[in-house]
Amino acid sequence: MSVTRRELLWATAGIGAAGALAACAGSKGGSGSAAGVASGSANEQPRTGGTLKVGALGRASAITRDPHGTQANESDYLIISLLYDTLTVPGDKTNTAARLAASWKPSEDLRTWRFTLADGATFHDGTPVTAEDVVWSLKRLRATPSGKSRLPGIQPEGIQAEDARTVVLVSDYANADLPLLTRLTTFVLKKDTKDDALAGAPGTGPFTLDWYRDGNARLVRNDNWYGGKVLLDAVEVRIFESPQAMANALLAGQIDVASNVGAVAARTAETRKDIQILRRPNDMAMPIVMRAADGPFADAKVREALRLSVDRDAMVKQVLSGYGTVGNDILGTGDPAYAKDIPQRKRDLDRARQLLAEAGFDTARTYDLITTEDIAGLAESATLFATQVREAGVKINVVKQDSKVFWDATWLKAPLYTSYWGTNDSVVFFASKTMLSDAGQNEAGWQEPSFDEAYRTAMATADEAARTTLLHQLQEIEYARSGYLLWGMADGIDLAGSAVRDLPRLPGYGRVQLEKTWLAR
């Protein structure tokens, strides 16, 4: 299984979009703060105290304590995110906000970036955080099996400490979005922490570890956190193996928050006035991948025919129970640079049949669409898709695979399969991760020189307006020819008790930032 893909599902790292350079151009990286939205009266004032009990999905067999390891459990990622800080985080005003890095500044050629650490940042044991700690941590991250995709374009030798508070990252190519990369699992540990000491290693985050048992944990407020006042006394994280069990615990008052619980649980809670339903738009992309490199879907006309065969409104209503939005075959819908002016692709069965005929597509054959039941709605989306494209003359057989088999044998290889990404707030993220010809996770095997050129040119462009224009061109190419059929995006859904206030509403990694959450009781 791919470490990075599984981490992205749970962690929803949300590497952001075009606004990053503008956000930090004056060397101040922290103009956008991590966002939370109040759930109670506008007259309420945040108060300190109380223990927030949070349910999160996970399996006992997949527990990890390594901040740079395979975090297959959302429960583990939540715990790690509260204990250890990344250099940057998603923000409510910009896609990249300051965290352990207080500011950042690029060189003129956009290849070398200098990150200045936050004043007063210390580990939980009281020792100061130094650039050497950050460099050691980033190099450790880069050395993991998925390190190349976690820090794309950055070689180990390109990670250096300039002085005690300045970290220098050098990219292989001009990259105006480099700070966005530091939102993804760049958790900082003390230099030379041994692998066998990770379970108790001090972090820099807003909470410290009280106890950890079998995937469950209690974290207490870090009164010395450099990021400001933490409101809760403690957070207790409880692991659940199914969304329904977690929702039941919330409805019974056993926990305060059911994290990322899904549409089915939300429908159940709709009649409960004592339960808050928090929706995070653009939280998960659920595309169908059509292999463009070879096989029956290599012809762009065939891929366009499939895109024209889908009833997107019906997919959102039936698969997501309305807790989502229609997609337009461009990933990164939460990005401020997302091209909303590109016409929404609509169902056109006559045109689909015409394109299939022009391509000489064999409509007598039945084609497998491979899926998993990793997340709610994924297998259902495959089944409904198969029913819809049958009306255009394409016969689809849905094959459900065990998760391990899927990620080992199907992902990146099969002609037609479902995919999902637990982040959808950046056009650039998907371009760099999944669509460049040499991308390590090129899901469709798509090779498009014009797309590659548009990406490199955009990344080398400092002017925001010019860069936005280039990103629009990038999306036009993706819309017309890529291997993705993005029919819709699922909302992230949290259920919360009536006393919970200021749960974060940002998608992706932003939703695990709980330092400003509080309890009105």
Lowest mean pLDDT among 61-65, 192-196, 321-325, 512-516: 61-65
pLDDT of residue 25: 35
Tell me the C-alpha to C-alpha distance, in Å, between residue 424 and each of 26, 273, 342, 398, 484: 27, 30, 18, 26, 14
Q: Which CATH number fits domain 3-280+491-519: 1.10.443.10, 3.40.190.10, 3.40.50.1000, 3.40.50.300?
A: 3.40.190.10
Confidence band of 432 (pLDDT split at 50, 70, 90):
confident
**Sequence ranges of the domains in the chain:** 3-280+491-519, 283-490
Which two tokens mark 410? Answer: 């199907």
For every residue of 319-366, which 3-state class applies, written as one string?
HCCCCEEECCCCCCCCCCCCCCCCCCCCCCHHHHHHHHHHHCCCCCCE
* 137 membership: H or E segment, kind and range: helix 131-142
**pLDDT top residue among 243 and 218:** 218
Task: Yes or no: say if 219 and 209 are a contact pair by the CB < 8 Å rule.
Answer: yes
pLDDT of residue 92: 79
Q: What is the mean pLDDT of residues 174-186?
A: 89
**320 pLDDT more than 80:** yes
Confidence band of 508 (pLDDT split at 50, 70, 90):
low
Q: What is the mean pLDDT of residues 260-264?
A: 85
Confidence band of 293 (pLDDT split at 50, 70, 90):
very high
Q: What is the mean pLDDT of residues 12-35?
A: 35
pLDDT of residue 483: 98
Task: Yes or no: say if 183 and 90 are a contact pair by the CB < 8 Å rule.
Answer: yes
Phi-psi region of 321 (alpha: psi -120 to 50; beta: other; left: phi over 0): left
pLDDT digits (tens, 9 = 90+) for 28-56: 343 344 344 445 566 789 999 999 999 99
Task: Yes or no: say if 78 and 515 are a contact pair by the CB < 8 Å rule.
Answer: no
Query: Which of the given ranges, 89-98, 117-126, 236-245, 273-282, has the highest pLDDT on average?
Result: 117-126
**407 pLDDT more than 50:** yes
Q: What is the mean pLDDT of residues 184-207?
A: 93
Instruction: Work out the mean pLDDT of the chain and round it to a whole number.
Output: 89
* 283-490 fold: Dipeptide-binding Protein; domain 3 (3.10.105)
pLDDT of residue 10: 41
**27 pLDDT more than 90:** no
Q: What is the mean pLDDT of residues 185-206?
A: 94
Task: Yes or no: say if 83 and 209 are a contact pair by the CB < 8 Å rule.
Answer: yes
pLDDT of residue 7: 46
**pLDDT top residue among 58 and 331:** 331
pTM higher than 0.85: no
pLDDT digits (tens, 9 = 90+) for 468-500: 999 999 999 999 999 999 999 999 899 999 999
